[in-house]
Amino acid sequence: MRHYGWAAFACAMLAPGFITAARADGPPITIGVPTSVQLEVGRDSIDATQLAIDEINAKGGVLGRQLRMIVADETENPQEGVAAINKLTADEHVDVLIGGYTSGVTLAQETHIADSKTIYLEVGAASPSITDFVRRNYKRYQYIFRVSPINAAHQAEALIDFGLGKLKGEAGVEKIAIAGENAKWVQDLAPILKAGLEKGGMTVTSVDLFDADTSDFSPLFTKIKASGAQYIMVVLSHANSDVFVKQWYDAKLPIPIGGIDVKSQDSDFFTRIGGKAVSETVANNIIPVPMTPLTMPFWNNFVARFKRPPVYTGAGSYDAVYIYAEAVARAGTTAPDKVIPALEKTHYVGTEGLCEFDAQHDIKYGPGFISLAFAQWYPDGSRVIVWPKEIAKGAMNPPPWLAGKP
């Protein structure tokens, strides 16, 4: 069983040393934010970046310079994503890029980022292929870093831990179905998840990847029910999980659901689908518990200012601004060839855990680093952490129509 050790963090940079009281009299340091502005993941990335910028600027900026932000909408389309990168780098000449959401879009952007020689701190996409560019050709792609989320392979490990520890170990689930969208990050994740669950003694009754625009899930639910599965492990981000979860609820499917459902991390997900998310258990990167000494200050400040809780891209963007600012301060310049070595030495206690990069510029995962907390939607619309055991705050309950049944 994995022990996360989140409570073991003894300190955090609540007042980072790179923030100076000196008057900011140099040209501004410009942060370009390419993201999907029409989605909450995009809005939270923008707002959290601004929150961090304002905090740093209020204390004097970095190297006597203020920070400012420029946003470009990359939508969820690779062509638009490339246009957003070109706008920010060629037209706006930003010093750094902080953003991203869709793996396919980010992968399409990478050659353009490399050509621009602009540092890119990615905070939304999970495909391991993103930082594999760095491993295969460091000289060309050294500008690429992933701050958040943990990559799809590591997310699979967290799901395996949840499946074997919580579902099998505590709830006695033996048979599990995997259902997810047919996207690059899920294609990377699903084989690892299946192999890990089976190695741990569970039976994976089916693995189904469906188009993101699927609107009728009844055939899938019928197939999964017939397979004998006792739990559906979902892996969703771009798919219409509002429809997926509502149809699961309306069908009163006798199988609980949970896993990774990015839209179910939205603060309004429960209410916007009429409470039908009840009992869904979702992996979260950021949740209002003291994962580190920075978690609750960030959470409370974000909620107070923007009147909604943040999702994972908000936490990742906030941390990315501080990580970049600290690296610039250590380097004494914004020149990428000086800042990149400083970024590679990052040791920063952020909102989600200890942030360090591995050799291919991917964020590290595991005990003491960043991981996932699994929270269940309760009938009153609250989210309660049920896994890992060390930080669990309540029991994982079955769907209402299965309550009391063996």
Same structural domain, 248 and 301: no
Task: Give the chain's domain count.
Answer: 2
CA 395 to the chain's CA centroid: 24
Long-range CB pairs of 128-135 (<8 Å, 24+ gap) are: 128/152, 128/153, 128/188, 128/362, 129/103, 129/184, 129/188, 130/103, 130/106, 131/360, 131/361, 131/362, 132/360, 134/360, 134/361, 135/359, 135/360
pTM of this structure: 0.88
* Phi, psi dihedrals of residue 98, rounded to the nearest 5°: -135, 115
The one-letter amino acid code at 343 reads L
CA distance linking residue 211 with residue 36, whole number of Å: 20
Q: Is 181 exposed, middle or buried (0-12, 13-18, 19+ CB in 10 A)?
A: buried
Query: Which sign, positive or negative, has the C-alpha torsion 209, 215, 216, 221?
Result: positive
Please give the chain's pLDDT, 406 residues, in tens.
333 343 333 333 333 434 443 444 689 999 999 999 999 999 999 999 999 999 999 999 999 999 999 999 999 999 999 999 999 999 999 999 999 999 999 999 999 999 999 999 999 999 999 999 999 999 999 999 999 999 999 999 999 999 999 999 999 999 999 999 999 999 999 999 999 999 999 999 999 999 989 999 999 999 999 999 999 999 998 878 999 999 999 999 999 999 999 999 888 899 999 999 999 999 998 888 888 999 999 999 999 999 999 999 999 999 999 999 999 999 999 999 999 999 999 999 999 999 999 999 999 998 789 889 999 999 999 999 999 998 899 999 999 999 876 5
What CATH number has the domain bearing residue 167? 3.40.50.2300
In a domain, 175, yes or no: yes
In a domain, 363, yes or no: no
Q: Are 189 and 156 in contact (CB under 8 A)?
A: yes
Q: In what order do the strands lie in the sheet with 144-146?
A: 67-73, 29-35, 96-99, 119-122, 144-146
Same structural domain, 398 and 275: yes
Supply the range of the domain harboring residue 143: 6-150+290-355
CA distance linking residue 69 with residue 84, whole number of Å: 14
In a domain, 1, yes or no: no
Same structural domain, 38 and 26: yes
Same structural domain, 391 and 322: no
Closest CA to 357 of 163, 181, 143: 143
